[in-house]
Amino acid sequence: MKKFLGYILSPIAIVAFLLLLCIFQPIQWISYRFFGYKAHKSTVDLLNLLLTGTVYILGNTVTFINNQHLPVNRPIIFLANHQSMLDIPPLIWYLRKYHAKFISKIELTKGIPSISYNLKYGGGANINRKDSRQSLMEMSKMGIRMKENNWSAVIFPEGTRSKTGQVKTFQVGGIAIILKKCPNALLVPIAIKNSWKVIRYGLYPLNTFTPMTWEVLEPIEPGTSSVDELVAEAENRIKKALGQLPNPLKEGTIVD
């Protein structure tokens, strides 16, 4: 029944999503060109609130849980598991006061209304996966911007989306580069649950009446262990929150 309803409701949700992207493209341009970063960010925040709302057309729900007392005057690296593109709008909206930036493929900076413009001018890192030197420089620059402005970053350390919701092994590289330039950045895991189920049949039909959850977990201080151990701890905390068996902890990994 949920899949059947998806055939009916998906066109409405998809049209609403695409319409918002088209409407906000010129609004973003005006905000950035004439009023600067603050106005542009407010525009992007509002866009992502509305994009988040389009999932309700399908009967799906978004629950964002943040019981942590995170600083707003300190850079943060949010490490999240990645299940679908639906992961991103709630992260932008609910983490808006932390000025969270994303690492994205450089190909996404062209051809997508609103999204491409924000990736170009929003302060994140746009990397060319075929050019390791360019990728290194982009992430280094992002780390410097985080340090100078007390901005934050959202990283999906799995590298690719999980089509089944099972968390993949976290990669350390990008996190290590950012920490080198911004060594005081706090590491904060986020466990994302069930967003993969919305696109389990692809982009059409989208699944319906699926409860999705984003949960901010306990922060991890940098410098207490090696970057490998810190990232492994974040991965294990996310797996635990999702009810998945964590990897065996490496020697020296932080234990609560």
Q: What is the pLDDT of residue 67?
A: 96
Mean pLDDT of all residues in 24-30: 98
The owner of tokens 């201080």 is: 221
* Phi and psi torsions of 205, nearest 5°: -80, 150
Task: Return the domain boundaries, the chain.
Answer: 2-241
Q: What does the pLDDT look like over 176-227, one tens digit per residue?
A: 999 999 999 999 999 999 999 999 999 999 999 999 999 999 999 998 889 9
Paired tokens of 217: 């977990």
Burial of 13 (0-12, 13-18, 19+ CB in 10 A): buried
Paired tokens of 202: 């692809």
Q: What is the pLDDT of residue 251?
A: 38
Q: Which residues contact 223 (CB under 8 A, 6 or more apart)?
A: 183
CA distances from 6 to 22, 70, 85, 108, 231 (A): 23, 38, 18, 27, 37
Fold of 2-241: Glycerol-3-phosphate (1)-acyltransferase (3.40.1130)
Integer Cα distance of 60 and 76 in angstroms: 29
Nearest to 64 by CA among 214, 216, 241, 242: 214
Q: What does the pLDDT look like over 101-151, one tens digit per residue?
A: 998 989 999 999 999 999 999 999 999 988 889 999 999 999 999 999 999
Res 254 pLDDT > 70 = no
